[in-house]
Amino acid sequence: MISLRIKIDVIIVLIFFFSVGITSAQNEEDKLQQLASSKPLYTVFNQFYTDSIRQETKDEWGGLYFKKIDQINGVYYFDYNNDGLEDALVEFSVRNSDGGTFYFLVAVLFENIEKKYIYKAHFQPENTLFEEFNQPFFIFSGTANKFSKEITTKKYKLVNNTFIKIN
């Protein structure tokens, strides 16, 4: 028979994991809501996704699958080109719709021109997430790999509408 103390400990652990899951889901939903709150940005983002990321593909058995947005990791507003208007960087993760293990990150920059966003450039930031924009650098950081606690920082610069890694 399981002791009362063990039962209580199990309940506490379950409550903790359940509450962390809810918080994480709410956080992801908040980021999607943040993106959707700007109709011009949301519209151009969806067009970018459809044109550049989604790409329907057939698997080895002839079944169709596509690249699907896993989650929105962040929506950041800043004036990257010093024109007085807030531009937007959206970062998100992508996976295959067939449930495979293919997964990658995307960061896409949209320029604000007279309150209308237009696609500027995108890239895959190598397992790092956006940290800050420090003119003229887009700074990303993250762990080098799953088995290391070492944080790596990478700088990118936008040159002729292409992100170039500086370090």
Q: Strand pairing of 67-78 and 129-134? A: unpaired
Q: What does the pLDDT look like over 66-82, one tens digit per residue?
A: 888 888 999 999 999 99
Name the nearest CA neighbour of 27 among 61, 72, 63. 72
DSSP 146: T
Amino acid, res. 104: F
Q: Are 151 and 141 in contact (CB under 8 A)?
A: yes
Q: How far is CA 6 from CA 20, 74, 156, in A?
A: 21, 40, 51
Q: What does the pLDDT look like over 42-69, one tens digit per residue?
A: 999 999 989 988 887 777 777 777 888 8
Of the listed ranges 3-17, 107-121, 138-152, the one predicted with least confidence: 3-17
Q: What does the pLDDT look like over 91-119, one tens digit per residue?
A: 999 888 877 677 889 999 999 998 899 99
Q: Are 65 and 55 in contact (CB under 8 A)?
A: no
Please state the pTM of the whole predicted model.
0.75
In sequence order, the β-bridge partners of residue 78 are 87
* CA 33 and chain centroid, separation: 14
Q: What is the pLDDT of residue 3?
A: 58
Q: Are 88 and 97 in contact (CB under 8 A)?
A: no
